[in-house]
Amino acid sequence: MTAHSLSSVDPVTAGSTGGIAAPRPAAPPARRNRRGSRAERLAPLVLLAPAVLIIVGLRLWPLVLGINFSFTGDGDRDGMMVGFDNYLTLLGDPLFRTALRNVGLLVLLLPVAVAIPGLLATFIFLKVPGHRVYRGVYFFPAVLSPVIVGAIFNLLLAFDGPLNALLGGLGIGPVDWLGDPDVAIFAVVGVHVWATFGMALVVFLAGFATLDSSLLDAAKVDGASLPQTIWHVIVPSLSRTIQFVFVTTMIGMLTSMFGLVYVMTSGGPEGSTYLPEYYVWIQQGQMNQPALASAASTALFLIMLVVGLAQIGILRRAGKED
Amino acid sequence: MSGTRLTRWVVAIPMAALALATIYPLVFTTNVAMKTRREYVLDRFSLADSLSWDNIVKAWTSVGMSRYFLNSVIVVACSVALLLLLGSMAGFALARLRFRGSSTLFLAILAALFIPFQVIMVPLARIMADTGLVDTYPGLILAYVAQFLPFTIFLLTSYYSTVPPEIVDAARIDGNTVYGVYWRIMLPIGAPALLSVGVLNALFCWNDVLISLLMMPSAENRTLMVGVTSLRGQYSDDIPTFASGVLIAAIPVLVVYLFLQRQIADGVTAGSTKG
């Protein structure tokens, strides 16, 4: 059966690929190759189909569904088109407004979250005493789950916990790190920075590895101070790495703090630690308002697009001025 | 010259302090896990009187961490295996096979990389519910594969692009089919990249809480991280048991980190230098 169908196809295949098949020395490989040439045209399809199906079906299609969904109603109005109602509801919801305000805070803190690992990486690169150890130590919290980090800091930041005991020893009164609405968001963001600066540090170190060492030597010969070397040699040479770290750190702040908020504060006290991703989760999982949650998702997506594009734009321009 | 040497030492002290501050929370948690409840209430900072494994055993058995641990291992192992298989197939095809639209497809996959889970979680939950996959291992595995596949393909495509085309051509002349080249040449050559991407994906899946929380609502299907979050409410007055649960979830990560730190860092930085 196989032989029959093969031989019936053969002339066609031979005709189209004759030029390639002709120089083949022995018959058996040539035949295998000819049969292969049909399977081969399909090979990219076969190899890519599962991945493409999954990505289209479970990432791109849900994105379209979600945006579409955000214009429909919840509860009684399930499935009805309601225009921008959900978005208006969002803007009127104090919890979502807090979430947006907290995003603003994250954007403001972003330069700090980038500068700290950048400086530390510089010192490690310049081989401060103990530089071999630091990289391994600093990077470790970055591979721990936010859940574990959050759980540990629940213990450390408890009102009667170690940090307050330490501060008490220094004569600084106890701070209700996770219970005071004015403090809690800073505590959560601080823990996030503590847990993730190692990630950016490793990226910076990879950037340093590509740095032209003759530039540094030249700076040393010219008697440049450390701040001068950082500002005039290292920062311009690493502009691409810095740009990468800015964007990935911002994405991390917007999309990987759920675990921390969930474990450390559950959005409290008084909703002060809400972030858009936590808001989406609450509306979807707890309040059963999927359409409103979709609107919040779409808003989060827009925020990410705007922030990401703005950053790339700003950094490009800054890079050009140098 | 002596100035820079002095600066180095001045800088080294805060850096050492920071390193201590990075390690201390983990040491503190380990110490708490070793204490009895009474010891903890009396003094939370003193070293545990003796290395007591009672809390760990309690967390593992009666609290149910063993079940959550098993759930996590099953889901992570299957997800990573699927990610590496599908990712390497796609990466090989995109990097080393010529076909129409390959660069467009690569860009589309790259774009999918920038869709955060939070943005698609509502419709994805609905799709999973409609297909009966919610609260099942395959459902969660599929969600993880979908989440981390674009990243996996991106890294493996860049890696396979560095494999000289001559190697592929030589294998073809030896009579290998495309699939033979993939299976016998590309998979072994890609081993370092597969290890790096595999470890990173294993960490992503192991550490995840949001996807798991959404896809596995019932208590017996909880993964380890969701299990840890549920401990907090249950054992708020038994901190040593709570700390033990945290430790059980953290130790596998610590072990992996000790052995594969290099590979993890390679995976994290892969996108940064090429841009």
Amino acid making up residue B142: L
B150: contact with A, CB 8 A cutoff? yes
Between B248 and B234, the higher pLDDT residue? B248
Torsion (CA) B32, B33, B35, B40 in degrees, nearest 10: 40
Q: Predicted confidence band at B4 (pLDDT cuts at 50, 70, 90)?
A: low
The pLDDT score that the predictor gives to residue B208 is 93
CATH code linked to domain B55-274: 1.10.3720.10
The stretch B48-61 carries a mean pLDDT of 80
Q: Where do the structural domains in chain B lie, given as residue ranges?
A: 55-274
Residue A104 CA to its chain's centroid (Å): 17
Contacting residues of A for B126, CB less than 8 Å apart: 65, 290
Query: Phi and psi of B177, rounded to 5°?
Result: -75, 175
By CB atoms closer than 10 A (0-12, 13-18, 19+), residue B155 is buried
Contact A40, B177 (CB under 8 A): yes
Place of tokens 């073809």: B172
* Subunit contact A148:B146, Cβ cutoff 8 A: no
Between A284 and B7, the higher pLDDT residue? A284
The pLDDT score that the predictor gives to residue A95 is 92
Looking at CATH, the fold of the domain delimited by A85-321 is given as: MetI-like fold (1.10.3720)
Tokens (6 digits) for A27: 């018959």
Per-range mean pLDDT, top range of A299-308, B32-41, B264-273: A299-308
The stretch B245-265 carries a mean pLDDT of 91
By CB atoms closer than 10 A (0-12, 13-18, 19+), residue A253 is buried
Q: Where do the structural domains in chain A lie, given as residue ranges?
A: 2-69, 85-321
Length of chain A: 322
Separation CA A38–CA A266 (nearest Å): 57
Give me the average pLDDT of each 10-residue run along chain A (322 residues).
35 36 40 58 88 93 90 79 85 91 91 91 84 88 92 88 84 84 91 91 90 82 81 84 87 88 88 91 85 91 84 67 48
The pLDDT score that the predictor gives to residue A5 is 36
The pLDDT score that the predictor gives to residue A227 is 81
Q: How far is CA B230 from CA A68, B49, B221, in A?
A: 34, 28, 13
Chain A residue with CA closest to B124: the answer is: A62
Separation CA A237–CA A212 (nearest Å): 8
What is the ipTM metric for this complex? 0.89
The pLDDT score that the predictor gives to residue A14 is 36
Record the pTM.
0.86
Whether pLDDT at B50 is above 80? no
Tell how many helices (H) and how many strands (E) occur in chain B.
Answer: 14, 0
Separation CA A271–CA A100 (nearest Å): 12
Contacting residues of A for B203, CB less than 8 Å apart: 143
B268: contact with A, CB 8 A cutoff? yes
Instruction: For residue range B198-218, list pLDDT tens digits in order.
Output: 999 999 999 999 999 989 988
The pLDDT score that the predictor gives to residue A59 is 92
> Which of A60, A137, A254 lies at the smallest CB-CB distance from B19?
A137
- For chain B positions 21-80, those within 8 Å of chain A (CB to CB) are 21-23, 25-26, 28-29, 32, 44-45
Q: How many CB pairs below 8 Å do chains A and B form together?
A: 270
